[in-house]
Amino acid sequence: MPQSNAERVTFTHREILEVFSGVALAMLMAAMDQTIVATALPTMAEQLGNLEDLPWVVSAYLLASTTTTPIYGKLSDLYGRKRVLQIAILLFLAGSVLCALAGSMFQLILFRAVQGLGGGGLMALAFTIIGDVVEPRERGRYQGYIGGVFALASVAGPLLGGVFTEALSWHWIFLINLPIGAAALFMTRKALARLPTGIAHPKIDYLGAALLMAGITGLLLVISRGGTAFAWTSPTLLALVAGTAVLLGAFVWHERRVEEPILPLRLFRSPVFAVANPIVAVSAMVLFAGIVFLPLHLQLVRGAGATESGLLLLPLVFGMTLGAVGGGRLIARSGRYKIFPIVGLALAALMFLALGASDRVAGDALLSTLVLVPLGIGLGLVMPVMTVAVQNAVDRRDLGAATAAVGFFRSLGGSAGVALFGAVLTSDVGRHLASAGLPGIDAREVLERGTAVLQGLPDNVRAAAVAAFEQGFETLFVLAAAFAAASLVLTLFLKELPLRSAKASPAA
């Protein structure tokens, strides 16, 4: 007989390790895919043409994965984790194969959306499944390991992307997913068999899912295209903002009236859930300021290649892994969690200030390492802790939806952060280029195409352009420090509940 999601299943340590290994591989694919593609974008544009549509290679995946994350969480509550995770893996692998075979930019963008439809479920379900098989007090340890996988993927992605693009071809950045995905499918096939299979007669909120996907798509388009493709005061963008507001308002109205909502609004009555998700969103903005713009800084200002920039960021990934794993173990030992994001965000704010305060810090290998390691530790102490706090605060029947909501706010914050920091960097660099008498250099084009734009310039012009980018990055790092401080202030309002030592639902 199918088990209810409310039933508790006890797992041995060996079974927990089997489950963890499978979901960690699935998450590794999704996390690495967010960074491995960026390195190969210029080569893709050169071979497939249509440079103007190049940003959509990233945006198509982002839109599909972010909009489907809350839906995967609810579907896993209704149909069980194993079935939904395996569908997500298969969709991701199918999209990867199609991307590798793409013969035009339009095909690549379309197939990246298919890949994103699978990717939306991989991260959210990985954290949810850990919540299913591990007791709340011990979850911090395993969520920390997952955080370490994410940190590894954040740096391994650009590094592998550079190696594949330079030594083989860009097609391999997608084909590498096949052996990883096959291993994840094999390992989860047996390990997840004992998880609850869902409720007997699930009711799917199709209209809520459609409204949510349409509203989030509009929101992401406003965030990513506002101020770039469309002026903030343009009729097109204002119409998009109005349409997005209507769709999201309709979604909230509808969710209050259905029996099985995609995103149960009752979750927001939990003080922990209501505060933790804004912390996650703002912290994700800070996180992506590091993993997206630090490699750009190394390439555009320091002249490092794609592979070299990945190696230079190893101190950051070491720190993130140390923070995520060490913080998780301390949570399991102490049963407390609030102090860790407070310490982590304070560290992140101070280290970003150090990066923004002096050109020498980012340029000196030793000083950079002394900054990047504690920066990574600070960033690693935040995300896994927020997941543990939310899972500990909600009823077991909402575990999938609540965990997916954390993943959604993380993706949304990361998207907003990349768009905001990119806009600030472009504007600030443009101002410095104009002051240096170089208005003919397009800062946005340099950010999209990389160092190739600068290499053809005369030495004195290139030096002035690099100095303008250095000043722009200093502004960006100071802004990231300000957002880390804002997230720290939010964390002070996070209610700390005792971590349960059994997988029972919290008291009503």
Top pLDDT among 497 and 454 is at 497
In this structure, the answer to whether residues 154 and 220 fall within a common structural domain is: no
Top pLDDT among 214 and 504 is at 214
CATH number, domain of 326, equals 1.20.1250.20
- Does residue 62 form part of some domain? yes
Candidate from 31-45, 56-70, 187-201, 262-276 with smallest mean pLDDT: 187-201
In this structure, the answer to whether residues 21 and 158 fall within a common structural domain is: yes
In this structure, the answer to whether residues 219 and 313 fall within a common structural domain is: no
* Spatial CB neighbours of 411, under 8 Å, sequence gap ≥ 6: 62, 65, 66, 69, 284
Tokens standing for residue 487: 């997230």
In this structure, the answer to whether residues 326 and 454 fall within a common structural domain is: yes
Characterise 437 by phi-psi region: left (phi > 0), alpha (psi -120 to 50), beta (else): left
- Does residue 7 form part of some domain? no
- Does residue 500 form part of some domain? no
Residue 404 has pLDDT above 70, yes or no: yes
Cα–Cα distance measured from residue 107 to residue 175, given in angstroms and rounded to the nearest whole number: 16
Q: For residue 209, what are the domain limits?
A: 205-259
Answer yes or no: are the C-beta atoms of 368 and 315 closer than 8 Å.
yes
Cα–Cα distance measured from residue 445 to residue 142, given in angstroms and rounded to the nearest whole number: 41
Answer yes or no: are the C-beta atoms of 129 and 142 closer than 8 Å.
no
pTM above 0.75, yes or no: yes
Residue 441 has pLDDT above 80, yes or no: no
How many domains are there within the chain? Answer: 2
Answer yes or no: are the C-beta atoms of 198 and 78 closer than 8 Å.
yes
Q: Which of 191-200, 272-281, 369-378, 490-499 has the highest mean pLDDT?
A: 272-281
In this structure, the answer to whether residues 382 and 288 fall within a common structural domain is: yes
| 160-175 mean pLDDT | 79
**How high is the pLDDT of residue 347?**
92
- Does residue 505 form part of some domain? no
Token match 């952060």: residue? 417
Residue 379 has pLDDT above 80, yes or no: yes
**How high is the pLDDT of residue 92?**
92
- Does residue 496 form part of some domain? no
**How high is the pLDDT of residue 507?**
39
Taking the alpha carbons at both ends of the chain, their separation in whole angstroms is: 28
Q: How many of the other CB atoms lie within 10 Å of CB of 182?
A: 13
| 19-37 mean pLDDT | 80
In this structure, the answer to whether residues 150 and 224 fall within a common structural domain is: no
Residue 84 has pLDDT above 90, yes or no: no
Residue 59 has pLDDT above 80, yes or no: no
* Spatial CB neighbours of 99, under 8 Å, sequence gap ≥ 6: 108, 111, 112, 115, 174
CA distances from residue 56 to 51, 171, 255, 409 in whole angstroms, order as listed: 10, 17, 31, 21
Residue 494 has pLDDT above 60, yes or no: yes
In this structure, the answer to whether residues 299 and 365 fall within a common structural domain is: yes
Span 216-275, pLDDT tens digits: 888 877 876 776 667 777 888 888 889 889 988 898 888 888 877 777 788 888 888 889
Answer yes or no: are the C-beta atoms of 286 and 487 closer than 8 Å.
yes
Span 406-438, pLDDT tens digits: 888 888 888 788 778 887 888 888 787 777 776
Q: State the helix-helix crossing angle for 339-357 and 459-491, rounded to 10 degrees.
A: 160
Task: Categorize the per-residue pLDDT at 483 as very low, low, confident or very high, splitting at 50, 70 and 90.
Answer: very high
Task: Categorize the per-residue pLDDT at 485 as very low, low, confident or very high, splitting at 50, 70 and 90.
Answer: very high
| 112-118 mean pLDDT | 89
In this structure, the answer to whether residues 135 and 231 fall within a common structural domain is: no
In this structure, the answer to whether residues 347 and 226 fall within a common structural domain is: no
**How high is the pLDDT of residue 504?**
43
**Of 182, 189, 75, 71, whose CA–CA distance to 120 is shortest?**
71
Top pLDDT among 309 and 370 is at 370
Top pLDDT among 481 and 212 is at 481
- Does residue 503 form part of some domain? no
Answer yes or no: are the C-beta atoms of 474 and 107 closer than 8 Å.
no
**How high is the pLDDT of residue 482?**
92
Whole-number percent of the chain with pLDDT over 90: 7
Residue 230, beta-bridge partner list: 226
Tallying the residues shown for the chain, one arrives at: 508
What secondary structure, in 3-state letters, does 338-363 show? CHHHHHHHHHHHHHHHHHHHCHHHHH
Name residue 216's amino acid: I
CA dihedral for 280, 272, 121, 249, sign (positive or negative): negative
- Does residue 507 form part of some domain? no
**How high is the pLDDT of residue 342?**
92
Task: Categorize the per-residue pLDDT at 501 as very low, low, confident or very high, splitting at 50, 70 and 90.
Answer: low
In this structure, the answer to whether residues 238 and 268 fall within a common structural domain is: no
Residue 94 has pLDDT above 90, yes or no: yes
In this structure, the answer to whether residues 249 and 108 fall within a common structural domain is: no
Answer yes or no: are the C-beta atoms of 183 and 176 closer than 8 Å.
no
- Does residue 43 form part of some domain? yes
Residue 226, beta-bridge partner list: 230
Span 303-350, pLDDT tens digits: 766 666 667 777 887 888 888 888 877 887 777 888 888 999 999 999
Top pLDDT among 364 and 232 is at 232
**How high is the pLDDT of residue 90?**
92
Name residue 97's amino acid: V
Whole-number percent of the chain with pLDDT over 70: 81
Mean pLDDT of the chain: 78
Span 170-209, pLDDT tens digits: 888 888 889 988 888 888 777 677 676 666 556 777 888 8
In this structure, the answer to whether residues 278 and 407 fall within a common structural domain is: yes
Top pLDDT among 233 and 507 is at 233
Residue 47 has pLDDT above 60, yes or no: yes
**How high is the pLDDT of residue 222?**
80
Answer yes or no: are the C-beta atoms of 107 and 114 closer than 8 Å.
no
Report residue 226: phi and psi, to 5°. -65, 130
Residue 38 has pLDDT above 80, yes or no: no
